[in-house]
């Protein structure tokens, strides 16, 4: 599979998960350089399979709060930080699973539990979208693949 097809799978997965599970219509094809520098929730998720790797996601806190509110059917102001972060982890888990299912539909993979990270570089194949309330950047880095060299620091 080429980097282009991995990128396509990543983009389709981000859009599909946001639309079906979070009722968000994402604006795609944004350059990674314009990703928000505002405070973000950072999630990393290791996966085993063929090939193994790591999925990372950065979601602007403003977007994370609204997305969590929609997901849980609650008022954004009533949500706690742990609730918002838990929904962000679910979002990362779903995007990662959707990407891997598209890339390797015949290979079983195993996702580790998503973890909040304080600082991590989103590397490998990267996709940035606008959710309407803040940027989401997702990146998938597979160990045995030749990935694009796009890398930047997410904070």
Residues interacting with other proteins, by CB under 8 A?
16-17, 19-21, 68, 71-73, 83, 86-87, 89-90, 93-94, 96-98, 100-101, 104-111, 113
Cβ closest to other proteins, residue 80 vs residue 119: 80
Cβ closest to other proteins, residue 36 vs residue 41: 41
Residue 34: exposed, middle, or buried by beta-carbon count in 10 A (0-12, 13-18, 19+)?
exposed
SS (H, E, C) the chain: CCHHHHHHHHHHHHHHHHHHHHCCCCEEEECHHHCCCCCEEEEEEEEECCCCEEEEEEEEHHHHHHHHHHHHCCCHHHCCHHHHHHHHHHHHHHHHHHHHHHHCCCCCCEECCCEECCCEEEECEEEEEECCCCEEEEEEEECCCCCCCCEEEEC
Cβ closest to other proteins, residue 32 vs residue 97: 97
Minimum CB–partner distance for residue 20 and other proteins (Å): 4
Cβ closest to other proteins, residue 32 vs residue 49: 49
Minimum CB–partner distance for residue 99 and other proteins (Å): 10
Cβ closest to other proteins, residue 62 vs residue 83: 83
Minimum CB–partner distance for residue 104 and other proteins (Å): 7
Minimum CB–partner distance for residue 98 and other proteins (Å): 6
Minimum CB–partner distance for residue 37 and other proteins (Å): 27
């Amino acid at each position: 599979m080429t980097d282009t097809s991995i990128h396509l799978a990543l983009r389709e997965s981000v859009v599909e998960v946001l639309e079906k599970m979070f009722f968000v219509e994402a604006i795609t094809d944004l350059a990674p350089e314009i990703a928000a520098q505002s405070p973000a929730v950072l999630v990393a998720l290791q996966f085993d399979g063929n090939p193994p790797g790591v999925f990372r996601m950065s979601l602007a806190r403003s977007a994370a709060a609204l997305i969590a509110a929609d997901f849980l059917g609650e008022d954004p102001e009533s949500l706690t930080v742990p609730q918002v972060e838990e929904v962000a982890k679910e979002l990362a888990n779903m995007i990662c699973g959707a990407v891997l299912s598209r890339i390797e539909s015949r290979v079983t993979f195993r996702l580790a539990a998503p973890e909040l990270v304080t600082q991590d570089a989103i590397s490998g194949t990267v996709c940035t979208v606008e959710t309407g309330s803040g940027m989401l950047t997702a990146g998938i880095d597979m160990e045995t693949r030749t990935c694009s060299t796009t890398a930047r620091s997410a904070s």
